[in-house]
Amino acid sequence: GENVEQHPSTLSVQEGDSAVIKCTYSDSASNYFPWYKQELGKGPQLIIDIRSNVGEKKDQRIAVTLNKTAKHFSLHITETQPEDSAVYFCAASSRRSGSARQLTFGSGTQLTVLP
Amino acid sequence: NADVMQNPRHLVRRRGQEARLRCSPMKGHSHVYWYRQLPEEGLKFMVYLQKENIIDESGMPKERFSAEFPKEGPSILRIQQVVRGDSAAYFCASSPLEARGSGANVLTFGAGSRLTVL
């Protein structure tokens, strides 16, 4: 089955700096890669996603890049703000048993933006 | 997250009791997923259901855990004879019918149900 590894597990940046979180996946058939933000005591919220027919996608201060050959994808947050502090999860959609596609999540990155 | 409704938000049970967690998907969503999150860990897939059907339960423990999504009413995750190791946050997510060929189910998560087993 799919295995998603995420690094780093913790990341501290100064306000205004950029943050980069990287993930690798194992299943070459995976074709959908969302990123979720989880604030303390809340459920994960989708912040951006990318499909395998695209190499890069940007939404304001957030961008995601995908390298299908190397099987890795990254989240880039520019001009970080204290409210960006949260746990970020990457995920990959792959086909599990039977015909159903499922999301396999990375282990998460605790991002802290220091004022 | 408020559109996927989970209750209770917090549940405390003693060892050996039963826990029932409920999830109402977003309006128009016909697929429900349950994930478990242990403290300071990622989300682990448990089960995927459509109305009256279990599509994939490969992530569910073989014993004590069951899930259903009846024709009417919310999806229910049931844990019988709970043990301390069941203490976790249980998240429900829903998605619309997967468009043919899209190859992806975009999930919207609820706020979670936090189970504590004493």
Q: How far is B30 from chain A (nearest CA, A)?
A: 14
**What pLDDT does residue B102 have?**
52
> How would DSSP label each residue in B39-65?
TTS-EEEEEEEETTEEEE-TTS-SSSE
Mean pLDDT over residues B104-117, rounded? 89
Rg from Cα positions in chain A: 14
A62-66, A110-114, B81-85, B99-103: the lowest-pLDDT one: B99-103
Between positions 94 and 113 of B, the ones with CB within 8 A of A are: 98, 103-112
Please state, in angstroms and rounded to a whole number, the distance separating the CA atoms of residues A66 and A86: 22
Nearest to A108 by CA among A18, A21, A45, A12: A21
pLDDT for A95: 66
Residues B72-111 as b/e (b if ≥16 CB within 10 A, e otherwise) read eebbbbebeebeeebbbbbbbbbbeeeeeeebbbbbbbbb
Given this model, what pLDDT does residue B87 score?
Answer: 96
Cβ separation A102–B44 shorter than 8 A? no
Residues with Cβ within 8 Å of A99's Cβ and at least 6 positions away in sequence, in order, are none
pLDDT in tens, chain A (115 residues): 789 999 999 999 999 999 999 999 999 888 889 999 999 888 999 999 998 887 899 999 999 999 999 999 999 999 999 999 999 999 998 765 555 677 899 999 999 999 9
Tell me the shortest Cα–Cα distance from B107 to chain A, in angstroms: 8
For the ranges B52-56, B89-93, B112-116, which has the lowest average pLDDT?
A: B52-56
**CB distance B108–A104 less than 8 Å?**
no
Q: Quick check: A103 and B112 CB within 8 A?
A: no
Amino acid at B48: Y
Confidence of residue B1 (pLDDT cuts 50, 70, 90): very low
pLDDT band at B70 (very low <50, low <70, confident <90, very high): very high
pLDDT (tens digit, 9 = 90+) per residue, B14-43? Answer: 999 999 999 999 988 888 999 999 887 889
pLDDT of B2: 52
Q: List CB contacts (< 8 A) between A46 and chain B.
A: 106-108
